[in-house]
Homo-oligomer: A and B are copies of this chain.
């Protein structure tokens, strides 16, 4: 038995999310089914974490166990011949049998993209949230800084989250402007359910001028959901990078270029 890790890129538009659901096709089952067609085994895939319906990944990580003898680095090529074009396995490699894609996450990095142009871009309609009111990037930047460090993120999670603690540490939190696009980068030790989307929803209200950047500070201190803003739509969110002690997805992806 070998344990194989995959780095997976997906356009989440046509999926119910990472995890198998009764109401539609998931990324997880698409890959499991492609592998079954390939070698006859249907693997159980464990990801670094779930992504919701419509959320994208530039670098999701998952592992599974297999009895097959296909060379580990060839699995990605074989899977891609059987996967639809909106799911691509960018790399496959063997990992120790006690390594776990979820339990050993050290850091996750998400990017949320806003198309802040007067007319939404035709090419990014499924990967960026269109906000036509001009957002104040200085206010967004100030708000983002309040998230840095260790805080109780109870105000920034949806009910249904079953986390034992709501304290998380944020290592990086900043906005980047690229023409008419605004990208929010956030890296942390871990994230609660809908946490990034509520952080972004809160900052959008601040960027529009409806709230002050200090709202973020207050919501963190009060730790009640009502002090934070709306949950921003799923389609602007992308899982960007996952870091482990064993490897970092960016290291592996840059080795492919």
**Interface of A toward B, CB cutoff 8 Å:** 9-11, 56, 76-77, 80, 85-90, 117-123, 125, 127, 179-180, 256-257
Contact = CB atoms under 8 A, between A and B. Distances in A.
17 contacts: A9-B119, A9-B121, A11-B123, A11-B125, A76-B119, A77-B119, A80-B119, A80-B120, A85-B122, A85-B125, A86-B125, A88-B120, A89-B119, A90-B119, A117-B257, A123-B127, A180-B257
A137 to B, nearest CB: 13
Nearest to A118: B256
A87 B117 CA distance: 15
Contacts of A9: 119, 121-123
A11 B86 contact: no
A140 B120 CA distance: 34
Query: Most chain-B Cβ atoms within 10 A of its Cβ — which of A86, A88, A119?
Result: A119
Copies in the complex: 2
A90 B118 CA distance: 8
A41 B249 CA distance: 55
B88 A122 contact: yes
A249 to B, nearest CB: 14
Given A9-B119, A85-B120, 8 more contacts: A9-B122, A11-B122, A56-B123, A85-B122, A88-B122, A90-B119, A117-B256, A123-B127
Contacts of A10: 122
A9 B120 CA distance: 10
A56 B10 CA distance: 22
A220 to B, nearest CB: 33
Nearest to A91: B119
A56 B124 CA distance: 13
Contact of A119 (B56, B86, B88, B118): B88
B257 A121 contact: no
Contacts of A127: 123
B121 A88 contact: yes
Contacts of A90: 119
A119 to B, nearest CB: 5
Nearest to A132: B77
A9 B87 CA distance: 26
Query: Most chain-B Cβ atoms within 10 A of its Cβ — which of A10, A76, A257?
Result: A257
A9 B123 CA distance: 9
A211 to B, nearest CB: 26
